Structures are given as C-alpha cells and as structure tokens.
Amino acid sequence: MTTYLQQAQTGVWDVRASFLPAIYFEGVGLAGGISVLLPPQHVDDEIVDRVLDGLDGLIITGGRDVDPDAYGQDPHPATDEANEDNRRRDGWEFELLRGAIRRGLPVLGICRGAQVVNVALGGTLHQHLPEVLGHTRHQQGNAVFSTSSVRTVPGTRLAALIGESSDAQCYHHQALDRLGEGLIVSAQDDDGVIEAVEISGDHFLLAVQWHPEERLDDLRLFAALVEAAATYSREKVTA
C-alpha cells in the first residue's frame, strides 16, 4: 500500500513523515492479506521492479490532489497546492502502477488512487466538482464522509463483486473526467460522476472513487484483491 508523505505531529515531534491510517491495512488483514507500506521515494525502473518483485498486489491509497501539471492543466484555486513531497508521491505511484500493469500485478485504487490510475494512463480530472455539479455532497468537509449510492455497469468485474448498486463512503472534491487509455467505467452515482473504473480482461485492475476501508463490515473489494494476489503469487511461483 502506498503512503502519504507530509508534515506530521506526534507528541513533541513535528517532522516530515510517511504514514497511512491504520484502517487501510486493517481491511487488508481482515480479508486475509499481509500489508507492506510503500513510502514515496526516488523512482526509476530498476527500483520499481525490485519493489514489485516482492509484492503480489498493489493498493494505491487516498490522499491529497494529484498535481494538475501531470494531466496538462493549470491548478484550480481549490486544488491542493503541489509541493515537492506531493510531486514525489505522484511520480512514485505513477511508476508503481505502470510497472504493475506491465507484469499483470493486481491493483486496487482507492479515491485519490482512482485518480492516479486515470492520470497515469493519460486521462484527466475535474478539479472541483462543486463547480460541475452545483453542490458539495461528495465532500462536505471536516473529515465527515458522505454516503453516495453508486450503480455498477452490468458485465463489469465490479458488478460481479458488489452487485447492481452499493452505498459508498465518499470524500472527494475531484473526479475522473476524460478516461485514461484502456479504462472502462464500472460505476457511477446519481449525478453521473464516475465512481469506479477498471481494465477489461483477466488483469485485476479496479479503482473506486470511494473509501471501502471506511466500511469494514463489507470486505468484498479487499477480499477480491487478496484473492487476485494469491492467484498471482501461485502463477509467479510456477512460471
């Protein structure tokens, strides 16, 4: 699982730190997986390959907005200001994702992770949904998650996993706009916002705009990734 890189306070310390809320790896553990945390760092193909050699699956987690420069746009005033730490995380996750796709490593994107998947594959984002939709229900602020009803697209991997619809915990003011290469929409909400995308075929690459870790009574997405990772591991050993 990828992690944040930003200033953090704990006790008397106020330092730059890599961290991730525990609820993410609690979800993986409850689904039968083992978590490894991946801090943002210097990246090149050799480093990415060495890291991915030791993994059976990848979760790209939530966090701050992707730098709009990565998809050819000027920043909106409401977009998180890009700094060196943010850009390092963007670059790290882009390269991890592309390396995972090259080798068929299972991938789950969560919230920002869905946006990273889309941008890494050449897509773009709506930088501020309230200007597109006229309301703030997708991100009400003050760390309060809103509940959205998402409808899946028949025949997709996501529909097979969660059925026709599901209540999703959302906290995002941005969303996918133009789709990246090879992606298909697998869920939308009542406003028509893209809430999930995936790659068709056998490769498990699924990205949701909501936060499944906020509903640990429903482990279906984590369990699906863990199952795909177990299959990948077996095939890697026998290859």
Distance, CA of 115 to chain centre:
7
Report the candidate in 21, 13, 179, 209 with the shortest Cα–Cα distance to residue 110: 209
| Residues whose CB is less than 8 angstroms from the CB of residue 120 and which lie 6 or more positions away in sequence, other chains included | 93, 94, 97, 98, 180
- Residue 138 annotated among the catalytic residues of the structure: no
Active site residue 211: yes
Determine the 3-state secondary structure of 195 from DSSP.
strand
Round to whole Å and give the CA distance between 17 and 200: 37
The residue segments making up the domain with residue 189 are 4-238
* Cβ proximity of 161 and 221 under 8 Å: yes
The size of the chain, in residues, is: 239
Question: Residue 196: which CATH number?
Answer: 3.40.50.880
The active-site residue, picked from 111, 138, 172, 173, is: 111
> What is the rounded distance in angstroms from the CA atom of residue 174 to the CA atom of residue 176?
7
Structural tokens at position 159: 């529909």
Kindly name the residue from 93, 95, 198, 213 that is annotated as catalytic.
213
Tens of pLDDT along the chain (239 residues) come to: 999 988 889 899 999 999 899 999 999 999 999 999 999 988 888 899 999 999 999 999 999 999 999 999 999 999 999 999 999 999 999 999 999 999 999 999 999 999 999 999 999 999 999 898 888 777 777 677 888 899 999 999 999 999 999 999 988 899 999 999 999 999 999 999 999 999 988 999 999 999 999 999 999 999 999 999 999 999 887 76
pTM across the whole model: 0.95
Number of domains in the chain: 1
Closest CA to 159 of 98, 117, 200: 200
Question: Does the annotation mark 213 as catalytic?
Answer: yes
**Among the options 126, 172, 173, 211, which is catalytic?**
211
